[in-house]
Amino acid sequence: MVLTASQAKAIQGNWTKIAANAQDMGNELFIRYLNQNSGDQDVFLKFDDVPLDQLKGNAAFNAQTKLVIDALGRIVGSLDNIQSAASSLRERVRTHQPRGIHIAQFERLLDLMPMFVQEKADASGAIADAWRILIADLMPAMRDEYARLSR
């Protein structure tokens, strides 16, 4: 499936709820991610030794989660041009791959988005489904970039 223009608009409209509380939303998303993928915290050297229940008080964690939400916001903002959104993700790959962050970490984080927007931003099931389509549309670009960099 390919994300439709109306699905893109729905994601963008719902994103305003996340953007309005970007830091808190970023923290919640990342805590959820690390709770489900605890071994991945080791990749984040600036807060790899901080207990999960203390992460929200850690400046490096807050900077990382805000960066993630801002990057997702740029992707959401460019959904009228899916190639632009894919380019943003390719750039994330180029900056993250040298630090040992692999496609699996991106996939695990993005897989959380449909349920996250429903629970935290009151998204409808249709918006959650649109996120699933968006992720499916964008993952090939990320995988291709990882493969290119790994050669």
CA end-to-end span of the chain, whole Å? 30
Q: What is the mean pLDDT of the chain?
A: 94
In this predicted structure, the answer to whether residue 39 has a pLDDT above a threshold of 80 is yes
Are 65 and 26 in contact, with CB atoms under 8 Å apart?
yes
Angle at 116 between CA 70 and CA 118, to 5 degrees: 115
Provide the pLDDT for residue 99. 85
Confidence of residue 37 (pLDDT cuts 50, 70, 90): very high
Q: What pLDDT, on a 0 to 100 scale, did the predictor assign at position 77?
A: 95
Q: Report how far residue 44's alpha carbon sits from residue 64's, in angstroms, rounded to the nearest whole number.
A: 9
Distances (CA, A) of 81 to 4, 62, 77: 11, 30, 9
Q: Which of 21-30, 98-107, 135-144 has the lowest mean pLDDT?
A: 98-107
Residue 85, exposed/middle/buried by CB under 10 A (0-12, 13-18, 19+)? buried
Q: How confident is the model at residue 1 (pLDDT cuts 50, 70, 90)?
A: confident
Stated length of the chain? 151
Predicted pLDDT at 49:
96
Residues 6 or more apart in contact with residue 28 via CB below 8 angstroms:
116, 120
Of the candidates 20, 18, 45, the one whose C-alpha atom is nearest the C-alpha of residue 29 is 18
pLDDT score of 69 more than 90: yes
* CB count in 10 Å sphere of residue 124: 12
